[in-house]
């Protein structure tokens, strides 16, 4: 078998566990004859790793704290429109207002960054405020 010859050439032991389908695991063993996927104490770490790499976790980490209430309101509005507690027109109004909040926030962040760059480079009017 090719995997056995690879293990012989590299000198590394293969995992002694079997996969769910009953075939032998082909991964290299890291401890106690088992690979990372079959170590019993690694189940919780794999679960956490899966959550931390999820889109939701990345979004939560990237979203500025000042915009979290806007996101919560939008999610509640979506649910309200879906459940019939809010009209589609009310949902559209909330979405438009939330979009305006985000644009104002983005403009403020960009202005702060530009001001910091101008100050650092010694150009522009660093006292300027819109």
Q: What is the CA radius of gyration of the chain?
A: 27
Task: Please give the average per-residue pLDDT across 70-79, as a whole number.
Answer: 90
Q: What is the pLDDT of residue 59?
A: 72
Do 79 and 43 share a domain, yes or no?
no
Residue 126 within any structural domain of the chain? no
pLDDT digits (tens, 9 = 90+) for 101-110: 999 999 999 9
Contact 86, 93 (CB under 8 A): no
Task: Please give the average per-residue pLDDT across 62-84, as a whole number.
Answer: 88
Does 8 have pLDDT greater than 50?
no
Structure-block tokens of residue 51? 């959550």
Work out the pLDDT band at 81, boundaries 50, 70, 90.
very high
Does 47 have pLDDT greater than 90?
no
Residue 130 within any structural domain of the chain? no
Residue 127 within any structural domain of the chain? no
Is pTM, for the whole model, over 0.85? no
What gap in Å lies between CA 6 and CA 122, rounded to an integer? 61
Do 46 and 89 share a domain, yes or no?
no
Q: What is the pLDDT of residue 7?
A: 46
Do 69 and 114 share a domain, yes or no?
yes
Task: Please give the average per-residue pLDDT across 92-106, as a whole number.
Answer: 92
Do 48 and 71 share a domain, yes or no?
no
**How many structural domains are present in the chain?**
2
Tell me which residue range forms the domain holding 51.
2-55
Work out the pLDDT band at 111, boundaries 50, 70, 90.
very high
């Amino acid at each position: 078998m090719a995997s056995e010859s690879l293990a012989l050439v590299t000198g590394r032991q293969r995992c002694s566990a079997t996969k769910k389908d009953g075939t032998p695991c082909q991964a290299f063993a890291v401890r106690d004859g088992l690979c990372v996927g079959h170590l019993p104490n690694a189940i919780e770490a794999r679960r956490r790793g899966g959550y931390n790499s999820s889109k939701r976790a990345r979004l939560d980490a990237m979203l500025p704290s000042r915009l979290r209430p806007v996101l919560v309101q939008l999610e509640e509005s979506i649910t309200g429109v879906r459940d019939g507690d809010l009209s589609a027109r009310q949902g559209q109004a909330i979405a438009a207002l939330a979009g305006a909040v985000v644009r104002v926030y983005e403009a403020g962040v960009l202005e702060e960054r530009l001001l910091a760059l101008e100050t650092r480079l010694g150009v522009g009017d660093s006292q300027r405020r819109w």
